[in-house]
Amino acid sequence: MHRVLVMGSSGSGKSTFARRLSEIAGIPFVSLDALYWKPGWVPSDNTEFGQRVAEVVRQPQWVIDGNYTSSGAGELRREISDTVIWFDLPRRNCMLGIMRRIAGSYGKVRPEMAEGCPERIDFEFFRYVWTYRQRQRPKLLVYFQGLRADQSLVCFTDRTQADDYLKKIAIKQNRASIH
């Protein structure tokens, strides 16, 4: 694994997982939210965002957290990645995840967000997460159909699977550093 996409619904645990994977594997972590959003929750235009993402994916290694498949950068990330990790968790888990996140970081800028974008209560965002499985998940399934045979797709349907995966990666990393 050198170029890893971590995708799925907000609140699924993908950002936490991506940061931990980055630390364990020694691969730089990149948040698409940090590249997309400008201070005050102002979105970047697609051209500007695509240029930022293209610059990142040219690097030899990365763990990229986020979806944004509809921008031109989505195709490029899929083409260059060697591994895609998909958090396909139930809606209730994701809703609880964002509620916990808001409770724990309200008014603060999370590490994976752009400066000037503090955690807030946003009902449009709640609706996005609530309808994710109906509206966004089908788009990801189509996106995954574009993966090549030499690319890996790993799917987690609960956070325990993700934790177990990280433990296995850590064990492999420790073994590799010993030899």
Percent of the chain, pLDDT > 70?
98
How much is the mean pLDDT over the chain? Answer: 94
- Burial label for 5, CB within 10 Å (0-12, 13-18, 19+), is buried
133 within 8 A of 94, measured Cβ to Cβ: no
Residue 70's pLDDT band, with cuts at 50, 70 and 90, is: confident
Cα of 126 vs its chain's centroid, Å? 18
CATH fold of 3-172 reads Rossmann fold (3.40.50)
From start to end of 32-172, where are the E strands? Answer: 37-38, 42-43, 62-65, 83-87, 152-156
- Give the residue extent of every domain in the chain: 3-172
**Coil, strand or helix at 18:** helix
Distance in angstroms (rounded) separating the CA atoms of residues 149 and 170:
25
Percent of the chain, pLDDT > 90?
88
Q: Six-digit token pair at 134? A: 């109906």
What pLDDT does residue 72 have?
63
Query: Is pLDDT above 70 for 116?
Result: yes
- Residue-wise pLDDT for 117-153, tens only, equals 999 999 999 999 999 999 999 999 999 999 999 999 9
Task: Let me know how many helices (H) and strands (E) the chain has, helices first.
Answer: 9, 7
Query: Is pLDDT above 80 for 178?
Result: no
Residue 179's pLDDT band, with cuts at 50, 70 and 90, is: low
- Residue-wise pLDDT for 75-105, tens only, equals 999 999 999 999 999 999 999 999 999 999 9
Query: Is pLDDT above 70 for 53?
Result: yes
Q: How far apart are the first and last CA of the chain?
A: 19
